[in-house]
Amino acid sequence: MPIIIEQVLAAADYGQQKNRPVHEVTITRHGLVLRLLTLGAAIRSVQSAHAAGTLGHVHLHLPDVADYAVIARNPHLGATIGRYANRIGSAQFTLDGTTYDLDANRPPHMLHGGDWGFDRLVWDITVAESVAGEPDRVTFALTSPDGDMGFPGTLVATSTYVVSDNQITFLYEATSDADTVVSFTNHGYWNLSGEPTIADHTLQLAASRVLDIGDDLVPTGAINSVADTPLDLQTPTQLGTAIANTPNGLDHCFIVDGADLDSDTGQADPVNPVAVLTGGERWMSVASDCPAVQIYTGNSLKPPFHPHQSVSIETQRLPDAPNHAGFGPFLLRAGQTYQSTTVLTFGTGRAPALDSLPS
């Protein structure tokens, strides 16, 4: 079916963006319907097929599209996160001898790029391509000026969704006219069963290490083994059990097995298996070239949602990496291109083994 684009919100101001309308993009495939918003280059909703073929929602969504523009009601739902995903401690980093003070939107730290991070801005649609026999493709583009939320360099970013009958791929690219730091992710909120809780879901991660964090959820700099801890999700683990065994639930960053943390810049890793999530009769697998994945079990969700109604599987570079040696790539040098790929595959019945995920 053709890609449908329609305006859903009247022109309004978003941070320094003035008079911007919001559009919705609908992609319909066999067994999969994806709706996207230009606000945040975000997933509005995902419907995938039951075993019987009927469609059901597998991603949290707000009842009214206008709610997505209300920060208090929209916890980054399905959005493209940038310039730097997750947390940067003390909202500050030093690059080549210069210290940059960032927007401390979670005082004294920065979370998800600041109050007007990429998920709160309206992106442009530059590609909406549907060709018979090929995956559909939608690309959103955004230019972030030098000094935006405190980050150096004018950054030109794209967020692309490539959609086939049972698969959604996130492709991110960025260039900058000055050295800067970059890490993008998609902040999906997944519930495969449609139940009020994801306690019955199981999650398996290809991750034997996890970042140590303080009470403020900012990394301490230590990297711990998950062995013999409640954070060992290397075999399929019921999320209800994992939530019960961690204070308030999971909000932890795991290092993907096989990730290269030896370079501050470097090229992307190969696409590695990351996770398999099951819920009800459905499963969703995740593969990515990112070195880390944040697992968040919706601990702080507010109405119209409920705590622990979803799980986020956010592939990314390591949080606070600019402030920790040995945390792998975080730099984007002027003239280079940042790239990232994450592949979500949906199915019913028996879930695939982690080592069988696409590469």
CB 174 within 8 A of CB 182: yes
344, pLDDT greater than 90: yes
Summarize the confidence of residues 130-154 as an average pLDDT.
Answer: 97
For residues 243, 41, 293 and 110, what is the CA-based torsion angle, rounded to 10 degrees? -80
H/E stretch holding 32 reads: strand 32-37
Q: According to the model, what pLDDT value does residue 223 have? A: 97
74 within 8 A of 59, measured Cβ to Cβ? no
pLDDT in tens, 148-179: 999 999 999 999 999 999 999 999 999 999 99
Nearest Cα to 59, choosing from 172, 167, 187? 187
Q: Which residue has the higher pLDDT, 267 or 191?
A: 191
The DSSP string of 245-268 is TSSSS-EEEEEPTT---S-SS-PP
pLDDT above 70 covers what percent of the chain?
A: 98
User: What's the pLDDT score for residue 177?
Assistant: 97
Instruction: Give the residue carrying structure tokens 């319907």.
Output: 33
For residue range 71-109, what is the model confidence (pLDDT) as tens digits? 999 999 999 999 999 999 999 999 999 999 999 999 999
> For the segment 40-71, what is each residue's pLDDT rounded down to a tens digit?
999 999 999 887 778 999 999 999 999 999 99
Which domains are seen in the chain, by residue range?
A: 4-356 (2.70.98.10)
- Please provide residue 214's backbone torsions phi and psi, each rounded to the nearest 5 degrees: -90, -175
Question: What confidence category does residue 262 fall into, taking pLDDT thresholds of 50, 70 and 90?
Answer: confident
**How far apart are the C-alpha atoms of 320 and 110, rounded to whole Å?**
9
Catalytic residues: 187, 314
Average pLDDT, whole number, for the chain?
Answer: 95
- Which residues have CB under 8 Å from 197's CB, separation 6+? 240, 306, 308, 309
Evaluate if residue 359 carries a pLDDT over 80.
no
78: left (phi over 0), alpha (psi -120 to 50) or beta: left
What separation in angstroms does the CA of 292 have from each of 132, 334, 340? 35, 24, 12
CA dist 51 and 293 (Å) reads 29
Q: Which residues is 117 bridged to in the sheet?
A: none
pLDDT confidence bin for 265, thresholds 50/70/90: low
Tokens at 292, concatenated: 């880390």
pLDDT of residue 131: 93
pLDDT of res. 358: 62
How crowded is the C-beta side of 283, counted as CA atoms within 13 Å?
18
Res. 332: pLDDT tops 60: yes
Instruction: Tell me the mean pLDDT in the region 242-266.
Output: 89
Query: Tokens 């943390």 label which residue?
Result: 261
Enumerate the β-bridge partners of residue 95: 98
